[in-house]
Amino acid sequence: MPEWMKLENNSCPICLKEVKIGTGRIKCGHAFCSHCINSWAAQATYCPLCKKQFTYISEELDGIPIEKIKVKPKVFEESEDYEEPSFCYECKCSDNEDHLLICDECDINYCHTYCAGLDKVPENNWLCKYCSKEIEDLFGDEFKNKP
């Protein structure tokens, strides 16, 4: 299994607890507790991390796929008065909103300035680590985010 597909510290990005039983992996390659991603899929069928749509969950035990569960696509409909909290993809917190950056490329991912290694909000565009990685892969290190 490639390194990027492994759970960081064997913890689920949704509940932040150690995954002890089974893993649910979705199309983009991100993995979660089976319970967490199945609960998430009952409400929305986009990855909680990268926001890519998924149509199935691959249930795994010790990294070995044991079952593929098809999920019905869902679109989250927000009411006009609902404002979803913005969570930093690094520390998973929604506090200190005045320090939260939003990616100028995808307009989806948020990160605190201090979690991104910055002292202040940059004057130029800022890219999340996912968009920065994609652009680096396409164009090389010259487009890398610099703190």
Res 58: pLDDT: 93
Tell me what pLDDT residue 106 has. 86
54 neighbors 27 (Cβ within 8 angstroms): yes
How far is residue 25's CA from residue 57's CA, in Å, rounded to a whole number?
6
Write the class of the CATH domain 3-70.
alpha beta
Q: What pLDDT is attached to residue 57?
A: 94
Assess contact for 23 and 57: CB atoms under 8 A: no
- Residue spans per domain, the chain: 3-70, 78-142
Same fold flag, 3-70 and 78-142: yes
Beta bridge partners of 141: none
Which runs of E-coded beta strand occur in 9-134? 23-26, 31-33, 56-61, 64-70, 100-102, 110-112
CA distances from 67 to 24, 30, 70 (A): 10, 16, 10
pLDDT of residue 62: 79
Task: Give the residue carrying structure tokens 């010790």.
Answer: 62
The CATH number of 78-142 is 3.30.40.10
pLDDT tens, residue order, the chain (147 aa): 455 455 566 788 888 888 877 889 999 989 999 999 999 998 888 899 988 989 999 998 877 889 999 988 775 555 555 566 788 989 988 888 889 999 998 888 899 999 999 999 898 889 988 888 877 777 765 555 444
What pLDDT was estimated at residue 147?
46
